[in-house]
Amino acid sequence: MMIPIEDMETMLDDIAGELPQEFYKYLNGGIILLPEAKYHAKSTGNDLFVMGEYRIDGHLGRYIALYYGSFASVFGQLPPERIKEELRHTLKHEFRHHLESLAGEKDLEIQDAMDIAKYTDDKAGRVQ
């Protein structure tokens, strides 16, 4: 059974505190944990969840959004320690997007796009 959202917020606070303060430069919208699950736009059969996103919004600024419902759907049966590992991995991934954005780099965006292309090819039955 998935941990309550309040416990995941505590985990997220702990993980966020482990990261260097320099990572937070220009992340003026902070980190938010949203209760819903989110499917990727390319998901077929509702099997590809978005765990987190790095966003740049004209009104809200730069921030990281994580989706509790996505974690519950994908990792809900794991013990809390493993959920925390997955949360840490996702947060670091989104911080990499943030840092690359500040540096004008797109390496992780390119890798994510390649991963999605592989997913869609696999779903279509094509082999790469």
Q: Note whether residue 115 is domain-resident.
A: yes
Q: Note whether residue 89 is domain-resident.
A: yes
pLDDT in tens, 31-66: 999 999 999 999 988 899 999 999 999 998 999 999
Separation of alpha carbons 104 and 126, rounded Å: 33
Which CATH number is 102's domain given? 3.30.2010.20
pLDDT in tens, 68-96: 999 999 999 999 999 999 999 999 999 99
Q: Note whether residue 128 is domain-resident.
A: no
Q: Note whether residue 13 is domain-resident.
A: yes
Q: Note whether residue 53 is domain-resident.
A: yes
Q: Note whether residue 63 is domain-resident.
A: yes
109: containing domain:
5-123
pTM for the model stands at 0.93
Separation of alpha carbons 126 and 108, rounded Å: 24
User: Domain total for the chain?
Assistant: 1
